[in-house]
Amino acid sequence: MNYSSINPIHAAPEGFQFGRVWNCSSQIPSLNYRTRTFMAVQEDMTSKPRIPHVLTVAGSDSGAGAGIQADLKACAALGVYCSTVITAVTAQNTIGVQGVNLVPEDFVAEQLRSVLSDMQVHVVKTGMLPSIGVVEVLCHSLKEFPVRALVVDPVMVSTSGDILADPSILAGFREELLPMADIVTPNLKEASTLLGGVRLQTVADMRSAAKLIHTLGPRNVLVKGGDLPDSLDAVDIFFDGENFHELRGSRVKTRNTHGTGCTLASCIAAELAKGSPMLLAVQVAKRFVETALDYSKDMAIGSGPQGPFDHLFKLKSNVYNSYRRRGFNPSDLFLYAVTDSGMNKKWGHSITTAVKAAIEGGATIIQLREKDAGTRDFLEAAKACVEICRSHGVPLLINDRIDVALACDADGVHVGQSDMPVHVARMILGPEKVIGVSCKTPEQAEKAWAEGADYIGCGGVFPTTTKANNLTVGLDGLKTVCLASKIPVVAIGGIGVANARSVMEIGASNLKGVAVVSALFDRECVFTETRKLHAVLTDVAALVVK
């Protein structure tokens, strides 16, 4: 369609009042957007929990694959509240865009003021900004109501080739919006347009484009290479003004790609609202889109060449669980063996020898916790342990080190409260991996479930020498957490043959086992000690069944 077919909305719906004049005396024209502070984000107004909040300023897609609808679904999938300012209403489907009606600029301004003046927005994400007037209105509003971050997705042309914005807004982007942006996320066509029509055909071209766009003012640039010719991978280039990062992912073969750009930008905004640093937010967003595309690759909606994909795949628990490569079995937590490099060194055990002995003695899951080994040595040992565990049908998790878990193809990770947040680990690892998290309180257990953990490790139950200043919860604290948890629990901390029975008899049905370190690995014969503990746990389990 031609731009001439884009017309403003002439009549307001009943009950709406266009053209309201607002008193803007509260504007702060001297505020430097670069030096904005958290004072504008009034997070301490109440004692209620902080809710990450993204405001999307974009067009409505009647087919619900892109635009406002994609932004809402993406933020919901990542656990972030999303409010909306609609700039245009489109008639579109899987075939293309049949029509666009613009929302009057004064009503866009009214929507912005309604949300920004009341709802403590953390991050603003922009999509379709169809006119120079809308760009100016947005910039004015952000100067009056500064937010933590601005994510700009420069939507000008739809994937099907339909024009969605007046070409004159390029000046507004370059002169006003991009200098305020914390990140801008153009695809190859949009990057070319921003730079006056330069051709982008290689990764080197993308790097040059990212650097040139950075000179226009944004703090970070992500040039998306989904349409890069002759590329087997989905390659994006991230530039922060100093360093380039080449982000590669699997290229998913599917027609269901409508809304990928909107979704990626919204996911970045959602992660920034949670407090993630920029590069990590981009990595999480890229992983989310890749996973959603792969899950939705065979979905059939509409008859056109570009269908939507499913943002909320994780809600379909039965399909989601079958999608996971191995699946998580709570019974794996029965005898959870956690290795220790210091203990292995003390007794002259290699990590592979210790792991093999524990499995042969009855360990049902292994966690590699190697704090002293260098990354290269740890990775090589982890790969060897993966082979041992796979040959025995026992899952292997890595403590904290998500990079090692990915590199050795472990079954998952276990993280602590001060490690990477569970939701971030889930986005990086995808739906197929197991994630456990250490918890001491019901509140932490609730959060672990909400963010996508498979199980929690509760403790220390008893005093232990493996962690300094580790607060113990006791049997009562363990039971309290178990009763509050919606996911399986494994008890950890000071547990051995002498007290394992008392732990398993607390009367909590979701307590599935015990995790042990010293009782197995701070011993001369790991196999013998594991067999002893396995016998105690088996005896307790038999009594429970009776």
Question: Higher-confidence residue: 460 or 28?
Answer: 460
Q: Are 422 and 448 in contact (CB under 8 A)?
A: yes
Lowest mean pLDDT among 39-53, 322-336, 425-439: 39-53
pLDDT at site 125: 98
C-alpha to C-alpha distance for 389 and 371, rounded to whole angstroms: 21
| Backbone phi, psi, residue 258, to 5° | -70, 125
| pLDDT interval class at 157 (50, 70, 90) | low
Lowest mean pLDDT among 25-39, 174-188, 412-426, 440-454: 25-39
Catalytically annotated residue among 59, 261, 307, 459: 261
Q: Are 301 and 308 in contact (CB under 8 A)?
A: yes
Does pLDDT of 375 surpass 90? no
| pLDDT interval class at 249 (50, 70, 90) | confident
| Backbone phi, psi, residue 502, to 5° | -65, -30
Which of 3.50.40.10, 3.40.1190.20, 3.20.20.70, 2.40.50.140 would CATH assign to domain 53-182+256-313? Answer: 3.40.1190.20
Q: Are 436 and 397 in contact (CB under 8 A)?
A: yes
Catalytically annotated residue among 262, 385, 389, 439: 262
| Pairing mode of beta strands 221-225, 511-516 | unpaired
Render 313-355 in DSSP notation, one character per residue: GGG-HHHHHHHSSS---GGGGTEEEE--HHHHHHHT--HHHHH
Q: Of 419, 363, 441, whose CA–CA distance to 395 is shortest?
A: 363
Let me know if 408 is a catalytic residue: no
Domain with CATH 3.20.20.70 in the chain: 323-545
Residue type at 233 in one-letter notation: D
Sheet with 97-102: list strands edge to edge: 7-8, 97-102, 81-92, 53-61, 123-128, 149-155, 183-184, 221-225, 233-239, 244-250
Residue identified by tokens 């937590």 is 333
Instruction: Give residue-wise pLDDT tens across range 54-70.
Output: 999 999 999 999 999 99
- The CATH number of the domain covering residues in 323-545: 3.20.20.70
Cα–Cα distances (Å) from 421 to 280, 356, 418, in that order, read: 12, 31, 8
Let me know if 224 is a catalytic residue: yes
Token pair recorded at residue 506? 């607390």
Does pLDDT of 103 surpass 70? yes
Domain with CATH 3.40.1190.20 in the chain: 53-182+256-313
Question: Higher-confidence residue: 46 or 171?
Answer: 171
Does pLDDT of 30 surpass 50? no
Residue identified by tokens 């790991």 is 526
| Backbone phi, psi, residue 335, to 5° | -130, 95
pLDDT at site 37: 36
Q: What is the pTM of this model?
A: 0.59
Please report, rounded to a whole number, the percentage of residues in the chain having pLDDT higher than 90. Answer: 60
Does pLDDT of 44 surpass 70? no
pLDDT at site 329: 87
| pLDDT interval class at 544 (50, 70, 90) | low
Catalytically annotated residue among 226, 259, 361, 412: 259
**Span 472-486, mean pLDDT?**
95
Token pair recorded at residue 535? 């016998």
C-alpha to C-alpha distance for 265 and 152, rounded to whole angstroms: 8
pLDDT at site 170: 85
Does pLDDT of 53 surpass 60? yes
The highest-confidence range among 40-49, 141-150, 431-440, by mean pLDDT, is: 141-150
* Average pLDDT value for the chain: 85
The half-sphere exposure of 539 on its side-chain side, counting CA atoms within 13 A, is 10
Token pair recorded at residue 319? 């399909």
Task: Label each residue of 417-429 as H, E or C.
Answer: CCCCCHHHHHHHH
pLDDT at site 423: 87
C-alpha to C-alpha distance for 85 and 73, rounded to whole angstroms: 15
Does pLDDT of 22 surpass 80? no
Let me know if 371 is a catalytic residue: no
Q: Where are the alpha helices (DSSP H) in 185-275?
A: 188-194, 203-214, 260-274
Catalytically annotated residue among 90, 260, 263, 530: 260
Let me know if 63 is a catalytic residue: no
User: How many C-beta atoms surround the C-beta of residue 297 within 10 A?
Assistant: 14
